[in-house]
Amino acid sequence: MAMPEECAALRSFTLLTNKGAIMLSRRQHRLSRFRRNKRRLRERLRQRIFFRDRVPETLDKPRVVVLTGAGISAESGIRTFRAADGLWEEHRVEDVATPEGFARDPALVQAFYNARRRQLQQPEIAPNPAHQALARLEAALGDHFLLVTQNIDNLHERAGNQRIIHMHGELLKVRCSWSGQVLEWTGDVTTDDRCHCCQFPAPLRPHVVWFGEMPLGMDDIYGALATADIFIAIGTSGHVYPAAGFVHEARLHGAHTVELNLEPSQVGSEFEEKHYGLASDVVPAFIDKLLQEL
């Protein structure tokens, strides 16, 4: 049996040991906190140096968001949906541009988009001066520029634009009906073509946003509109939402709004500045003037 003196010594040793462990833990915590704060300080310093070096390049450049519609591609030979000779007149919208239409007759839908895909790749279909002007604007503004297009063609890319959101999809791509995986596709698509990304090969569908489906990239679009200094709409009808509401969103955040169109759009009254005429005339003229002011 332990003597009282031995018990007291044992208790003292235990207390000292626990106290030492606590002190060691506190020292480790303080050291860890010191190192963490030091890392944060270095990161803030790097950010300040980066920002200081970047300011002369970017401070005077406006943030520009451009929305383009079918009107900008009409002069390149691509027919618009809502024109008198538009493709919609050959088919009912619900037959070729809805998920229900695809489920009902996939062969008809694939044939419809195959024809458009072949047309897009004809040698006479090429970017026009309006597309080229937007490529020059992006080259001047860099990451202060965003192009949002309702068009499913690739004329903006062929003109040289890179910062693009295809909110209605892309004609030269298809996607898996089950997984949603997107694939490059330049040829015809048949009902027998399958995506092999899934365990069970799934049918392919056009990578196009149909009526009743959610447009693509909306979070990024609204984020850009919230910080835009200038919003420009080109070749749009103002009939299709949510794109028709972008001008209102941009104005709410203080952007200067510009409409470049063949004629006033359905939401033309929302724009502060308006220029009407052929896209190949009014777009380069406006962009060149804007570039001179940068």
Q: Residues 152, 244: one domain?
A: yes
- Give the per-residue pLDDT at 50: 46
Position 11 scores a pLDDT of: 58
Q: Do 201 and 224 share a domain, yes or no?
A: no
| Nearest-5° Cα angle at 257, 288 to 274 | 65
Q: In terms of domains, do 107 and 90 share one?
A: yes
Question: Would 46 be classed as within a structural domain?
Answer: no
User: Higher model confidence: residue 134 or residue 180?
Assistant: 134
Q: Helix crossing, 279-293 with 129-141: angle to 10°?
A: 20
Q: Is there a single domain that holds both residue 70 and residue 181?
A: no
> What residue numbers does the annotated binding site for substrate cover?
113, 116
Domain tally, the chain? 2
* pLDDT at residue 52, as a whole number: 46
Over residues 113-122, mean pLDDT:
94
Cis peptide before 106 (omega within 30 of 0): no
Detail the residues annotated as belonging to a binding site. 69-88, 113, 116, 150-153, 176, 195, 235-237, 261-263, 279
Q: Which residue has the tokens 């031995």?
A: 6
Least reliable range by pLDDT among 59-63, 158-162, 178-182, 185-189:
59-63
39 by DSSP, 3-state: which?
helix
Quote the pLDDT of residue 56. 44
Provide the edge-to-edge strand list for the sheet that holds 256-261.
164-166, 145-149, 64-68, 230-234, 256-261, 273-276
Position 294 scores a pLDDT of 82
What pLDDT, on a 0 to 100 scale, did the predictor assign at position 41? Answer: 60
159 class by beta-carbon count within 10 Å (0-12 exposed, 13-18 middle, 19+ buried): buried
Percentage of residues in the chain with pLDDT exceeding 70?
Answer: 76
Q: For the segment 226-277, what is each residue's pLDDT rounded down to a tens digit?
A: 999 999 999 999 999 999 999 999 999 999 999 999 999 999 999 999 999 9
Provide the pLDDT for residue 200. 73
* Binding region for NAD(+): 69-88, 150-153, 235-237, 261-263, 279
- Domain with residue 73: its CATH number is 3.40.50.1220
Give the residue-averaged pLDDT of 202-218. Answer: 95
Q: How many CB atoms lie within 10 A of CB 192?
A: 7
Q: How many residues does the chain have?
A: 294
pLDDT value, residue 226: 96
pLDDT number for residue 25: 62
Catalytic residues: 168
Choose among 75, 64, 83, 85: nearest CA to 277.
75
Does some domain include residue 268? yes
Percent helix, strand and coil across the chain, each to the nearest 5: 50, 15, 35
Tell me what the mean pLDDT of segment 100-116 comes to: 95
CA–CA gap between residue 127 and residue 125 (Å, rounded): 7
Residues 72, 89 share a domain: no
CATH of the domain at 201: 3.30.1600.10
**pLDDT at residue number 83:** 45
- Strand 202-208 to 169-176 pairing: antiparallel
CB 68 within 8 A of CB 149: yes
Q: Which domain covers residue 188, as residue numbers?
A: 79-124+170-208
Distance (Å, rounded) from C-alpha 279 to C-alpha 128?
9
Report, as an integer, the average pLDDT of 186-195. 92
pLDDT of residue 220: 98
Instruction: Find out whether 71 and 232 touch, Cβ atoms under 8 Å.
Output: no
Q: Encode pLDDT of 51-93 as tens digits.
A: 444 444 445 799 999 999 999 999 999 976 554 544 455 788 8
If asked whether residues 292 and 194 sit together in one domain, one would say no
Per-residue pLDDT reduced to its tens digit, 18-43 = 555 555 566 665 666 666 656 656 66
pLDDT above 90 covers a percentage of the chain that reads 68
User: How does strand 145-149 pair with strand 164-166?
Assistant: parallel
